[in-house]
Amino acid sequence: MKVFRKFIKAAAFVLAFILLFSAVSGVLVSPNDYRNYQWVGAFYETEKNSLDAVYMGSSAVYAFWCPAIGWEQNGIAVWNYTTPRQPLVAAKYIIEECRKTQKDALYIVNLNRVSMKYDNTAIHFLLDYMPFSMNKLLLTEKLCKTAGIEGEDKLQYFVPLQLYHTRWSSLTAKDFSYKPDGTMGSPQYSGFLTGVFEDEVQDVVTSEGEEPKQVYLDILNDLLDYCEENEVNVLFTVNPQIAEEAKRQSEINFAKEHVISRGFKVVDFYTDFGSNGIDTTQDYYNMSHTNIHGAIKMTALLSKYLVENYDFEDKRGKEGYEDWDMAAEKYRGIIASSVVPIELETENRDYSIPDVEFTESIFDGEKVCLSWNGSEKAEGYKVYRRMENTKDKEKAAFVEVASLGAEECYFTDTDFEEDSKATFNYVVVPFRTQDGINKWGSFRYKGVSVTVEQE
């Protein structure tokens, strides 16, 4: 009996230690990228069996898919379980992890990072917000083995306190109060919202190259075998990236063809969709990632594919999904200073209508004068304005200030506060009308900026 009591006390001590250790580790986890809590940690706060799909992969996912926009457009709940440089070898374990609470969800696996090249920060990004479990231990061991990490170097992944214990002196109140941001993990970091990649490279390509090593085939087969044995509903995707990033494209092509040969679905958002509206001069913030404008287009493409090929119910306004409705509204506010409202009307875009070229954009002391060359095919123009460098959210958001006919390629603005100095950003959107609906053409997201100074 005494032995039994000692055993119970020992077990209770171990359990208490694990709980305390997990809590402390959660406070001390790496502060390098707080977004990972929104994508990984916050997943565990979603309602059981509430998600239509879980989208996993590297930054080639979270910079391409906006959950709040997918919800707003079609009422589907798709979570980004993504982390920077997340390797494909982790996919099987992430699916196993997520199926604990979202067993019937569709699992979307991105193939853009087939490569096994990842570093210790990539491992921490994935593991640090994942709760302790046997599956996590197995994933940790697999990542270390694949990356060739051995001996004492492995300890930091199993015992994060070894790496983060020095953070005590730099802790803030935020470290003790991690919570979901209310957008269901939709991307909102600065580079994504405001960045534009400007370079001479203008093509999105799928180039050929040397066949990847056998290790990729082993990893793919391990994942596909797991999905077959466990009857996992799975879809694979490839997202477009700018030309020089295609140095990894041979690996991606190899993975795509092998997955298809095994009888699984792959959606290639470059080769399968032809003209998808992606503009490499405006829709990326670097060679690997779309900005908010490209992400809106990509989200619309995947969202449309999902509702057309899977039996997903439109849950907008449905009881139990109020947080998703609020996420869509909140995210609209976050992107309002970067996105002209019509961008979200993706079903009404006509990219064959060219954008305008400004010929004048000045303030003459009394008014802002804008003029532009007419856009071929345009039947009219909408002019939008926002104020730059202001903390007033209403003034910082794009609003329509004029609707003009096809021959009216000019606009005069006098709507300013007296005795003020401010810089205004103007965007002109060409459009045509079809069956009573405006079809929005191409336009320059940044438009032109004019500084107004009144004495």
pLDDT range class, residue 450, cuts 50, 70, 90: very high
pLDDT tens, 118-158? 777 888 889 988 988 999 999 999 998 888 888 777 877 77
Name every residue whose Cβ is closer than 8 Å to that of residue 380 and which is 6 or more positions away in sequence: 403, 404, 405, 406, 408, 430, 431, 432, 433
Alpha-carbon span 106 to 312, nearest angstrom: 10
Q: DSSP string spanning 45-92?
A: GSPTT--SEEEEESHHHHTT--HHHHHHHH---EEEEE-TT--GGGHH
Residues 178 and 139: their CA atoms lie apart, in Å, by 24
Mean pLDDT along residues 55-84: 95
Q: 454 and 364 in contact (C-beta within 8 Å)?
A: no
Which residues are CB-contacts of 260 (< 8 A; sequence separation ≥ 6)? 266
Q: And the tokens for 219?
A: 């990893």
- Give 264-282 as a DSSP string: --EEETTTTTS-----TTT
Mean pLDDT computed over 352-359: 94
Name the residue among 113, 167, 129, 100 with its Cα closest to residue 26.
Answer: 129
Please write the tens of the pLDDT for every residue from 400-427.
999 999 999 999 999 887 667 899 999 9
Residue 368 is given by DSSP the state E
Structure tokens at 341: 């409202």
Helix/strand/coil percentages in the chain, nearest 5: 40, 20, 40
State the pLDDT confidence band at 315, using cuts at 50, 70 and 90. Answer: very high
pTM for the full predicted model: 0.87
Residue 143 to residue 130: CA distance in whole angstroms: 14
Average pLDDT, the chain: 85
293: which 2 tokens? 């404008």
DSSP letters spanning 12-38:
HHHHHHHHHHHHHHHHHS--S-THHHH
Mean pLDDT computed over 47-58: 96
Residue count of the chain: 455
Torsion of CA 432, 435, 436, 437, to 10 degrees: -60
* pLDDT tens digit sequence for 254-300: 889 999 999 999 999 877 544 578 888 899 999 889 999 999 999 99
Q: Is the pLDDT of residue 90 over 80?
A: yes
- SS (HEC) of 421-440: EEEEEEEEEEEEEECCEEEE
Angle (CA) 277-249-190 rounded to 5° is 55
Q: Are 132 and 15 in contact (CB under 8 A)?
A: no
The span from the CA of 120 to the CA of 1, in Å, is 47
Q: Tell me, what's the pLDDT at 246?
A: 52
| Tens of pLDDT, residues 96-117 | 999 999 999 999 999 988 766 7
What span, in angstroms and rounded, lies between the C-alpha atoms of 294 and 277? Answer: 9
Per-residue pLDDT band for 212 (boundaries 50, 70, 90) equals low
Helix (H, G, I), strand (E, B) or coil at 450: strand
What the block records as the tokens of 232 is 């996992």
When pLDDT is cut at 50, 70 and 90, the band that residue 165 belongs to is: very low
Q: Which two tokens stand for residue 386?
A: 């926002």
Give the list of residues 6+ apart from residue 374 with CB closer than 8 angstroms, or none. Answer: 356, 406, 407, 409
